[in-house]
């Protein structure tokens, strides 16, 4: 392959899909960075020539035209996608649909659609009937994804990946007034179809969390994001920053009475590596002991088993469950029954 042909292939790969744009000068910089010896005018001629053959166009800006692939452009595959790879994309899509909002999946839609096309064109191949052979389920209560504007999603991603400051209008809660912030992005965390941007504000050092669906507008500035030296997103998450820690006591020694069914379940999927389940000598009751994070999620999870378990310790947690039980009894026994 000669240099000119290879250069044009690289140009096609570097041109983004709408709504993103790239100018000829930016494309020139990227090609030079890839080792090509070429001037700006030659890049302009290449782009004009490619526009006659492929679904790329510019936005008509008279000063600095921005080039892009049209939204309806088909995915350009070099080389052809193998059936096994297409099957992997279909399985990945089924998995991601449980966790990611539709606006994020849209960025991968070309790959998913192409994989679908490859599989559907293989009527004699076993992979074409894969939907009858693979199933993915979740025992969590399914919730609808909050809506995130594609433009805001792209701006947040761009600011994070380019280490630029984000100027945004953000509403912390539905009842709160939206305010303007200068955010220094540090990372993204996805929890049950909700995407959170982790970052700092202005020159402050406090780490904050911003749900992307609460952004009303966002713009990537020319200012470099203020670096937070030593920040580790994975460590930040493991510390329980998204788990609603109850108090300064980050972990507790949990002791439960559990039913045989729950004991079997937690033997297969333990709460921790140090978990033990043993019958009590005098009563024969199954006693579970383990050290876990002291979080609100733990309380929600324990309550989901109803009367299938009993909290023995710590005493503070047992008292919480007593109060919750009394409150539930008051609601159901003393309130009006709407079915009567």
Domain edges within the chain: 3-69, 83-132, 150-238, 251-333
* pLDDT of 340 above 60: no
Tell me: the pLDDT tens digits for 147-191? 888 889 888 988 998 899 999 999 988 667 899 999 999 999 988
Nearest to 290, CA basis, from 244, 245, 256, 329: 256
Rounded CA-CA distance 254/208 in Å is 30
Q: So what CATH class is 251-333?
A: alpha beta
User: Where residue 261 falls among pLDDT bands split at 50, 70, 90?
Assistant: very high
What was the pLDDT predicted at 1? 46
Q: In this predicted model, which residue has the larger pLDDT, 146 or 133?
A: 146
Asked which of 93-97, 230-234, 282-286 is least confident by mean pLDDT, the reply is 93-97
What was the pLDDT predicted at 5? 83
Cα 179 to chain centroid, rounded: 24
Share of the chain above pLDDT 70, in %: 89
Query: Residue 259, CB half-sphere, CA atoms under 13 Å: how many?
Result: 8
- For residues 19 and 66, the answer to whether their CB atoms sit within 8 Å is no
* pLDDT of 125 above 60: no
What is the helix (H) or strand (E) element at residue 199, kind and residue range? strand 194-201
What was the pLDDT predicted at 116? 79
User: Where residue 336 falls among pLDDT bands split at 50, 70, 90?
Assistant: low
Nearest to 310, CA basis, from 234, 255, 243, 241: 255
CATH number of 3-69: 1.10.10
CATH number of 150-238: 2.30.30
What was the pLDDT predicted at 252? 93
What is the helix (H) or strand (E) element at residue 114, kind and residue range? helix 109-120
Tell me: the pLDDT tens digits for 313-322? 999 999 999 9
* pLDDT of 123 above 70: no
Asked which of 65-79, 164-178, 188-202, 249-263 is least confident by mean pLDDT, the reply is 65-79
* pLDDT of 196 above 70: yes
Averaged pLDDT for residues 248-277: 93
> Which tokens go with 164?
């630029």
Residue 281 burial (10 A CB sphere; 0-12, 13-18, 19+): exposed
User: Where residue 6 falls among pLDDT bands split at 50, 70, 90?
Assistant: confident
The residues, ordered by sequence, that sit 6+ positions from 162 with a Cβ below 8 Å of its Cβ are 220
* pLDDT of 3 above 80: no
Please state, as a whole number, how many other Cβ atoms lie within 10 Å of the Cβ of residue 259: 15
Rounded CA-CA distance 144/96 in Å is 14
* pLDDT of 101 above 70: no
- For residues 9 and 78, the answer to whether their CB atoms sit within 8 Å is yes
Only one residue has tokens 């009527």, namely 123
Rounded CA-CA distance 185/201 in Å is 9
Mean pLDDT of all residues belonging to the chain: 86
Long-range contacts at 156-161 (CB < 8 A, ≥ 24 apart): 156/185, 156/188, 156/197, 156/212, 156/215, 156/218, 157/188, 158/220, 159/183, 159/185, 159/218, 159/220, 159/225, 160/185, 160/187, 160/188, 160/197
Tell me: the pLDDT tens digits for 12-64? 888 888 888 899 999 999 888 888 888 999 999 999 999 988 889 999 888 89
């Amino acid at each position: 392959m000669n240099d000119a042909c290879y250069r044009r292939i690289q140009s096609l790969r570097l041109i983004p899909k709408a709504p993103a744009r790239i100018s000829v000068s930016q494309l020139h910089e990227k090609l030079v960075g890839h080792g090509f010896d070429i001037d700006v005018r030659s890049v302009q001629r290449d782009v004009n020539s490619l526009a006659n053959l492929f679904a790329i166009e510019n936005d008509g800006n008279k000063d600095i035209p921005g080039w892009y692939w049209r939204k309806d452009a088909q995915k350009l595959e070099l080389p052809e996608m193998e059936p096994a790879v297409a099957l992997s994309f279909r399985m990945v899509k089924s998995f991601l649909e449980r966790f990611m909002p539709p606006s994020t999946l849209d960025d991968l839609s070309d790959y998913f659609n192409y994989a679908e096309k490859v599989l559907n064109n293989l009527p004699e191949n076993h992979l074409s009937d894969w939907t009858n052979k693979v199933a993915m389920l979740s025992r969590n209560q399914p919730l609808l994804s909050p809506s995130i504007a594609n433009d805001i999603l792209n701006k947040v991603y761009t600011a994070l990946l380019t280490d630029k400051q984000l100027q945004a209008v953000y509403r912390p809660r539905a009842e709160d007034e939206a305010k303007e912030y200068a955010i220094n992005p540090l990372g993204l965390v996805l929890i049950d179809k909700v995407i959170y941007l982790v970052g700092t504000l202005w020159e402050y050092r406090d780490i904050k969390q911003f749900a992307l669906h609460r952004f009303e507008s966002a713009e990537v500035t020319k200012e470099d994001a203020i670096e937070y030296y030593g920040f580790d997103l994975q460590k930040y998450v493991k510390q329980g920053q998204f788990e609603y820690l109850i108090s300064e006591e980050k972990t507790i020694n949990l002791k439960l009475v559990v039913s045989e069914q729950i004991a079997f379940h937690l033997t297969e999927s333990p709460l921790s590596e140090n978990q033990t389940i043993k019958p009590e000598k005098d009563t024969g009751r199954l006693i579970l002991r383990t050290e876990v994070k002291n979080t609100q999620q733990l309380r929600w999870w324990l309550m989901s088993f109803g009367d299938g378990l009993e909290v023995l310790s710590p005493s503070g947690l047992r008292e919480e469950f007593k109060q919750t039980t009394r409150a539930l009894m008051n609601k159901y026994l003393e309130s009006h029954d709407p079915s009567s």
